[in-house]
Structure 1
């Protein structure tokens, strides 16, 4: 939510605001939450390229009774949401949404009034679709927060490696410090909503960033939370991850999730992804906090970095789960396109479902990712 960013309002105390102003602040916060992208490297939320304040004001007037005037709208935006900005250029340093890029190019190329209206409508439909995907993620967070004995929700993502290479010096690095001589570290963070905990797992690049690392970090997090909850895990697990087939969206990870259900560790496991190019979420707000801390603090050795990360641990060994699963894997169709996956134990049998978008019905997969439970244990 924008609460992670919201500054103390300037001027009057929020308690002295009239009802229309309070409704305006609430509406803006909700709008920015569902339409903006949290930046992992700075304290900002960016709205899509081409966003016009006047058009947002027109939307606001449609949904709110007794709206404030446009000058008051812009004033409150400036006072309370300084961190919310529209992208100034069509370029983007992170992965971009193909649909957004295509529609923006079409809008730039055409001067036809009817076609511009058509592309604007398509863009709004796309923005609404990605907004509903975010809402689905938020609903799972809320379930874990409201009933942690029944639901568990985690989001897992990796931080930009260039930010945490060692030694790190606040400000400019010395000229005699060659980038190739730095110790390359990789920080994977897990945010657990029901427990309100945030934990970092740090390696120094000795392991490939592949399904093995993802599976091991999920295992570590489940073990950590079980220990903190007197060896208890709720029956339903929700996992939100980056939409990357190499690390997360593949048959190894899905086979592992099937295994969690078949071994009765969970009755139900869901794994979801946001639309590519719209994946910056609450975990990125945490990354931006770490980036700001690194902007003012040195981290010369590994222990310094762990202190800055606070709740963190060094990954010293992992299981070769990928090799252990390999002989028992099936070739599964529809494994990389959908955004939502579900494994459910029904009378001792694991059923697998998928769907492209949150509003669509679940489609059952014929067969399984895993033929049978592998024998023995994975090698270290």
Structure 2
């Protein structure tokens, strides 16, 4: 019983591609390699001498124009189909040594395939699922980005998302990472790999831009405009980037102080009170609000209302105050909201005691 698995012919375009770019392909299909097969003493039957140079070269071209994985599959299926019998090349019987010489198959590669067959594997080793171990550069970049996001990002109140300041870009973040890694004499992850790691490992960390972004501070807008839209000398650009770094550090310090006061108020509510006051976006508080606007209603004047929220962290409560344009939106509104909230908190404390 004899068995063989036919090799699929490849196109001239694939052959030219491998000839132009594959050094190993050129070596295996060269005249010297083909001539060497004819002089190979494989067995007493001299299997290789029954083929011509053109036939040997054709077999090698068909084999070496395949990808590495396709070659593994061919070797695996050929040896499994043949079993203990001889193999076939172009319909003629050959021994294993002659079959190996015909295609230029390496000893180690053939040994690995035979080892899998001995284990009764159903697929060659290239088809087995492999666990990709992250590199040291990948893990260092991920750790650096986690620390950077923890220091400079701000959690969104309505969803599990962390926004970095709007005055930076992904390229600026990568440049900062690269600079710190070079200073620490560590290997740097490539830019595309860094962005891919960011997208996969930390998808909730985003830069606050576009639709849904919160209001931005004036320094952030000014620095973003200058760095993104103007061609500047290197020394001036470096000076602005340094100012941006100091500005972001100040934001980080203020944020840390804010969370520190929240922690103090929650741990010792009898000593400390932590409040935060903010106004709602005015564009969303014009009344009446319709689900759809007609042309007649579009030009009509709407009554502007204002909503001020005061959150007491140690109580876990939020106090809401509404007011109209009859009151001027200045510090008096903030002071009144603060006095009202403190009065309400005192009443709550008195009722609890």
TM range (shorter): 0.3 to 0.5
Bigger Rg, which one? 2
Higher relative CO (CA 8 A, sep ≥ 6), structure 1 or 2? Answer: 1
TM-score relative to the length of structure 2: 0.47
